[in-house]
Amino acid sequence: MHNISITNNWNTALYEDKHAFVWEYGEDLLKFLNPQPGESILDLGCGTGQLTEKIAQAGVKVMGVDHAPAMIEKARQNYPHIRFDVADARSFQVDKPFDAVFSNAVLHWVKQADSAIASIHQSLKPGGRFVAEFGGKGNVKAIATALISTLEAFNIPAQALNPWYFPSIGEYASLLEQQGFDVIHAMLFARPTPLAEGEVGMANWIQMFASSFLTGLSNDQQIQIIRAVEEYLKPTLYQQGTWVADYRRIRIVAIKL
Ligand code: BEZ
């Protein structure tokens, strides 16, 4: 694996402690992967390795990659028997092509989708499968709208701070087809996601996953913005003491021609 990427300061303890839903929901996607003993599979964006380990348990030779060095360090500690490397989804290269590339809850961070698809394509054997799920069109729309309109009310041009790519089925399937994949399954569905920690769940989520919107703001300003976003969202996303994020997933299975 080559092309080591930029550093990212994910808080792995917070990720594992309060955001376990990221890989717990991902277990559903494993059914689509249907890993077979003896196969070789790449887990793209493996985080701290929980799903990589599940794939390994199927008797697969699995390798996990993530662009965040802190995640890879933790994944190696969690599962020392598995190979984990730091790599960038937009430019990684492999020494030997895989039977499948699996990716859960990652590709919405990769705005250069065409580059990621090219890397995935070249890392698969002909006939190999790409099985992915991530945020699709309309994902966290209420949260993003609340963040952007709150920041704009503070005269901060927020659109440029948006770190996410949430494609429609048509858009993403077309990119895959243009690069030599057959898309055999595509689905877009709402998956309202309860956040841990009751009342502070939304503030935690924003700090963990939407921090780029708060870039350059003082601590006090960040708190003020988060409070305003909570007020904005409370009538729709706060239900009986739990915040529920308005997730929408795109799920794709594509075969390399
Ligand atoms: C998601 O999994 O859909 C997601 C996670 C963090 C930020 C935005 C979207």
User: How far is residue 246's CA from residue 237's CA, in Å, rounded to a whole number?
Assistant: 8
SS3 content of the chain, % helix, strand, coil (to 5): 45, 25, 35
Ligand 1: lining residues by beta carbon, under 6 Å: 105, 108, 135, 139-140, 164, 209, 247
The residue whose C-alpha atom lies closest to atom 1 belonging to ligand 1 is 135
The residues that bridge with 186 in the sheet, in sequence order, are 252
- DSSP structure class, residue 212: G
CA separation, residue 144 to residues 56, 175, 201 (Å)? 36, 25, 16
Predicted model pTM: 0.92
Model pLDDT for residues 168-215, shown as the tens digit of each residue = 999 999 999 999 999 999 999 999 999 999 999 999 999 999 999 999
Q: For residue 16, what pLDDT band results from cuts at 50, 70 and 90?
A: confident
Q: Three-class SS of residue 134?
A: strand
Q: Where are the alpha helices (DSSP H) in the chain?
A: 12-18, 21-33, 50-57, 69-78, 113-122, 141-153, 169-178, 201-209, 219-237
Q: What is the pLDDT of residue 206?
A: 97
User: How far is residue 158's CA from residue 148's CA, in Å, rounded to a whole number?
Assistant: 5
Q: For residue 58, what pLDDT band results from cuts at 50, 70 and 90?
A: very high
**Whether the predicted pLDDT of 49 surpasses 90:** yes
The residue whose C-alpha atom lies closest to atom 8 belonging to ligand 1 is 209
Nearest to 212 by CA among 139, 142, 148: 148
Per domain, the residue ranges of the chain are 2-140+164-195+247-256
What is the C-alpha R_g of the chain? Answer: 18
Q: What is the pLDDT of residue 8?
A: 45
Q: What is the pLDDT of residue 14?
A: 72
User: How far is residue 111's CA from residue 116's CA, in Å, rounded to a whole number?
Assistant: 9
Domain 2-140+164-195+247-256 has CATH 3.40.50.10580: no
The residue whose C-alpha atom lies closest to atom 9 belonging to ligand 1 is 135
H helix or E strand, kind and range, residue 167: none
The residue whose C-alpha atom lies closest to atom 5 belonging to ligand 1 is 209
- What does residue 15 show for φ and ψ, rounded to 5 degrees? -60, -50
Q: Three-class SS of residue 7?
A: coil
Tell me which of 14, 137, 139 to substitute to probe ligand 1's pocket, judged by most ligand atoms within 8 Å of the beta carbon.
139
**Whether the predicted pLDDT of 7 surpasses 60:** no
